[in-house]
Amino acid sequence: MQLDFYKRPFLHICIPFIIGLFFVFTTISFVYSLILLVVILIIAAFFWKYVTTNFGVFQYFTVYIIGFLLGCFVALLHKETHASFQNSGYVNGNLVQLEITELNQGTGDWNKAIGRVNAVFTNKGQVACDNDVLLYINKDATNIRKGDVLLVGAEFTPIKNKHNPGEFDAEYYWKSRGIDVAAFACRDEISWIDEKEPSIFDRFLDGFSSYLQAALHENLSGNELAIAQALILGDKSLLDAEIKNAFTNTGAMHVLAVSGMHVGLIMYLFITVFGFFPRFITKKQATWVVVIFLWIYALITGFSASVIRAVLMFTFVAVSQVSAKQYDSLNSLFLSAFVLLVLNPLYLLDIGFQLSYLAMVGIFLFYDKIEKLLQFRQARLKELWQGTALGFAAQLMTTGISLYYFHQFPNYFVLTNLGLMFFSTIIMGLGFLLFVIKWVPGLSKFIGIILGFSTFVMYWIVQQIEAFPGAVAYGFSVPLWLVVFMMLLFIYLILYAEKRKHLLVGYSLYFLSVIFIVYERNAHMTKSELCVFNHNQLVIALKNKNEIHCFYKSKPEQVAKIHLLIESYSKQNPGKIFYHPIDKKSIQFKTGTQTLNINDAGKFVGMDWNDQKYEILFKPEISPNSSIYMPWVQNGDGHLLKNGALVLKAGL
């Protein structure tokens, strides 16, 4: 591997730049920044010891310092120009003027929208503002459209996690999009003011997108329509929980999120088609046509970080090839990351961005070495192994961060991706063919049938793999520092470690890291505890080793949310789930060495667990803060669950 600065400058610039961004977004402490800078220099010195280069150590240190300070500057500039909406002077009761920039149809009573706030009307007058907010609009307001300018009187509150074990980190997700407040608005809390006239380009994109969606809706339905629309156009609005879970549990959710794989397939399809017409279009012309089409595709599919990364990379490759310049894939990857992060530093917090770039780093660093481990003479077997090696290379760099975020690992990811790569290519090709011949009724119907069947078979394969024993391993809880350590250690072992003693030390450290992860997972699987959830309904989980017993007192329409809450809990704390509605005044339950008695007294619920007594209060007037509508667990000084669930360990 060549690390000469002049061959891969953005590899050296982007890494400290990213770390500078990270530290400003997580802490503004100058002391911590200096400590990190010292760590960067030590790591850099460690790597340069094993690299022969004409670029001196002092020059490398200078580049790393400049990159780090540049990252800090860009992050601070972003913070300064994108101040939090909570600092705008808004208080409950103020009117907010905003423009709807995104609008997604929900499956329940609410549609989800993103609004760009233009002004806040306070007692002191109008305050100019430029922030994005999350707005849930009740479906009784049916006339709201993208581009509408609204006056909203609903209460905007900070987006906060409930801190229940295993729950989705909504606060982090919306922070990565620059949003920190949300509101629920009904029709009588919304006044329509104006609408923004879309530009000619926006009208073209909307019309083009509507045409593509119509082509799918006219020829597909049900699960096939939902999967095809997500895979081809990146629109996941029709996907239900069952489909999402099936693809997630088999390690194939990236197939339904438009990413570099989709861009690569489009490139392959178009270049193959243009190759049949060399008299009409040259290779250079075909390259520029594909570049233009990919940027249009990126616009239609929502400009996600993974798509922009792939399109930027292909653009750099195309420019290099057309201009006969030397091209380096790893340098182009980090160049695209640098450009994206300068334009929007919050991409760094986006999970899709992280997974996408780590996967590509794994492919560029490890694919060749893995692919050479086995040699096949038969072309089909060789292609099959190359696809497998590609999946392994990507998975090696993404496994740690996936365990950190999702607490699960799909054991059959290789098998899943082999099947899905084949069907994804077919579905993408048929989908684009359908878009071209949409206006030919008989032919479009025929292509639609084949497309629907291909989508059906792909989903059937996913379902079959999900049904395999041990398809998903749950219960992983990996600290972020260990994720970073293992990735750096793996890079060192693959690329730099040559002497036996270096290999021995490296693999020993890696083996100890794996043992630590397995030990922590086993502890989560076998532990016993009681958890009272931070929820507006009474939800109690009693975990006894490999069993989870959920006791709940809830309205019928809230039961589905409780199931989702417990299923999220079980991903971090695995066990077979049993549900027990509190439909009697008194419940006595025993499992293993644990005993739980629940007495429903109406205004409060008494709970006796292993000879410890608690009272769970729900009425706002009983809690110390009348504005809190969350449970108050009374035992001694009491526990207000506003800031998280109450978890009690057995034997403590």
Of 472, 460, 464, 451, the closest CA to residue 231 belongs to: 451
Spell out a b/e string for 436-454, using b for 16 or more CB atoms within 10 Å of the CB, else e: eebeeeeebeebbeebbeb
Please say whether the beta carbons of 570 and 245 come within 8 A: no
Q: Does 127 reside within a domain?
A: yes
Residue that finishes a domain, picked among 171, 197, 223 = 197
Same domain, 461 and 569: no
- Per-residue pLDDT, averaged over 345-363, amounts to 85
Q: Does 486 reside within a domain?
A: yes
- pLDDT of 553: 86
Of 615, 613, 590, 591, the closest CA to residue 604 belongs to: 615
Cα distance between residue 569 and residue 552, in whole Å: 15
pLDDT digits (tens, 9 = 90+) for 180-231: 899 998 888 888 888 877 778 777 777 888 888 899 999 998 899 999 888 8
Provide the token pair at 635. Answer: 């035992």
Of 349, 296, 338, 343, the closest CA to residue 313 belongs to: 338
Provide the token pair at 198. Answer: 């879309």
At 57, the amino acid letter reads V
Share of the chain above pLDDT 70, in %: 86
Q: Does 554 reside within a domain?
A: yes
Cα distance between residue 122 and residue 491, in whole Å: 55
Place of tokens 């020059």: 59
Provide the token pair at 329. Answer: 């894939």
pLDDT digits (tens, 9 = 90+) for 113-142: 999 998 888 887 888 888 889 999 888 777
Same domain, 531 and 637: yes
Q: Report how far apart the first and last C-alpha atoms of the chain are (Å, whole number).
A: 53
Alpha helices in 437-475 (DSSP H): 441-466
Same domain, 634 and 538: yes
Helix (H) or strand (E) holding 68: helix 57-81
Please say whether the beta carbons of 338 and 14 come within 8 A: yes
Cα distance between residue 198 and residue 483, in whole Å: 45
Place of tokens 């043992």: 515
Provide the token pair at 357. Answer: 């770039």
Cα distance between residue 588 and residue 590, in whole Å: 7
Average pLDDT, the chain: 81
Please say whether the beta carbons of 349 and 176 come within 8 A: yes
Cα distance between residue 418 and residue 402, in whole Å: 20
Q: SS3 for 128?
A: strand
| CATH assignment of the domain containing 116 | 2.40.50
Asked whether residue 31 carries a pLDDT value surpassing 60, the answer given is no
User: DSSP class of residue 449?
Assistant: H
Q: Does 373 reside within a domain?
A: no
pLDDT digits (tens, 9 = 90+) for 524-574: 888 889 998 988 788 999 999 889 999 998 888 888 889 999 999 999 999
Of 226, 297, 219, 279, the closest CA to residue 256 belongs to: 226
Query: Residue 2, CB half-sphere, CA atoms under 13 Å: how many?
Result: 12
Cα distance between residue 394 and residue 356, in whole Å: 9
Q: Does 371 reside within a domain?
A: no
Residue that finishes a domain, picked among 52, 81, 110 = 81
Same domain, 182 and 283: no
Cα distance between residue 185 and residue 182, in whole Å: 10
- pLDDT of 447: 92
Overall number of domains in the chain: 5
Of 441, 134, 115, 427, the closest CA to residue 262 belongs to: 427
pLDDT-derived band at 625, boundaries 50, 70, 90: very low
Cross-strand pairs, 607 = 598, 614
pLDDT digits (tens, 9 = 90+) for 270-324: 777 777 777 778 777 888 888 888 888 787 776 766 677 778 877 877 777 666 5
Alpha helices in 496-643 (DSSP H): 500-526, 559-572
φ/ψ (deg, to 5) at 594: -100, 140
Same domain, 617 and 557: yes
Name, in order, each residue with C-beta under 8 angstroms of 373's C-beta and a sequence gap of 6 or more: 389
Same domain, 188 and 209: no
Helix (H) or strand (E) holding 101: strand 95-104
Name, in order, each residue with C-beta under 8 angstroms of 422's C-beta and a sequence gap of 6 or more: none
User: 329 lies in which domain range?
Assistant: 202-349+412-469
Same domain, 132 and 30: no
Q: Does 384 reside within a domain?
A: no
DSSP characters over 156-208: PEE------TT---HHHHHHTTTEEEEEEE-GGGEEEEEEPPPPHHHHHHHHH
Please say whether the beta carbons of 447 and 437 come within 8 A: yes
Same domain, 253 and 340: yes
- Mode of pairing for the β-strands spanning 547-553 and 576-581: parallel
Q: Does 443 reside within a domain?
A: yes
- pLDDT of 206: 78
pLDDT digits (tens, 9 = 90+) for 247-261: 888 888 777 766 666
Same domain, 288 and 216: yes
φ/ψ (deg, to 5) at 38: -60, -40
pLDDT digits (tens, 9 = 90+) for 14-24: 888 988 888 88
- pLDDT of 270: 77
Q: SS3 for 7?
A: coil
| CATH assignment of the domain containing 561 | 3.40.20
Same domain, 499 and 539: no
Provide the token pair at 80. Answer: 């300064």
Residue that finishes a domain, picked among 27, 48, 81 = 81
Within a 10 A sphere around the Cβ of 353, how many other Cβ atoms? 22
Of 588, 592, 597, the closest CA to residue 615 belongs to: 597
Same domain, 138 and 282: no
pLDDT digits (tens, 9 = 90+) for 428-468: 889 888 988 888 888 889 999 999 999 999 999 999 999 99
Q: Does 210 reside within a domain?
A: yes
Same domain, 222 and 176: no
Helix (H) or strand (E) holding 632: strand 632-634
- pLDDT of 628: 41
Of 311, 288, 289, the closest CA to residue 299 belongs to: 311
